[in-house]
Amino acid sequence: MNIGEAASASGVSAKMIRYYEEIGLIAPAGRTASNYRFYDADSVNRLRFVRRSRSLGFSLEETERLLKLWDDKARASAEVKALAQTHVRELDQKIAEMKAMRDTLADLAARCHGDDRPNCPILADLEGRPLRQKTAHQGAAGNCCGD
């Protein structure tokens, strides 16, 4: 099949297929007499493997390692499991970092009146100015746009 058909069958865009070939992640496609790329079923399966690996957040380097393990029929599954577990730990760390960012932004948004006044704790935080602590007159929402 040609590159467009391989892209459609694998879910990987033609541009990404060419890129993966360029960086050596996948072997270069065969060529017809008129120099058009052609792909067989094995190539499409490999592209699907790459697409799924990338959709799970594996880096290109990790995907390359997974491909090598997939190709090695004498591999130990322990190596594959270790790679997956390392990736899970990295994802957990990223999730914790993103949750902290989300919580900070939610807190800043809750402190902002969102009205016609120019003072804004969100912008103050981005600027690096310390926010005032909540006071009794600010109420539960902790709006402190009077910075």
- Report domain extents, the chain: 1-57, 76-147
Q: Are 131 and 125 within 8 A, CB to CB?
A: yes
Distances (CA, A) of 17 to 3, 53, 87: 8, 14, 24
14 pLDDT higher than 70? yes
Mean pLDDT computed over 51-57: 98
Mean pLDDT computed over 12-29: 95
135 pLDDT higher than 90? no
Rounded CA separation 110/131 (Å): 13
| Per-residue confidence band for 119, with pLDDT thresholds at 50, 70 and 90 | confident
Which residue bears the tokens 């592209």? Answer: 47
**Architecture in CATH for domain 1-57:** Orthogonal Bundle (1.10)
Rounded CA separation 107/124 (Å): 13
Question: Among 134, 88, 137, which residue's Cα sits nearest to residue 108?
Answer: 134
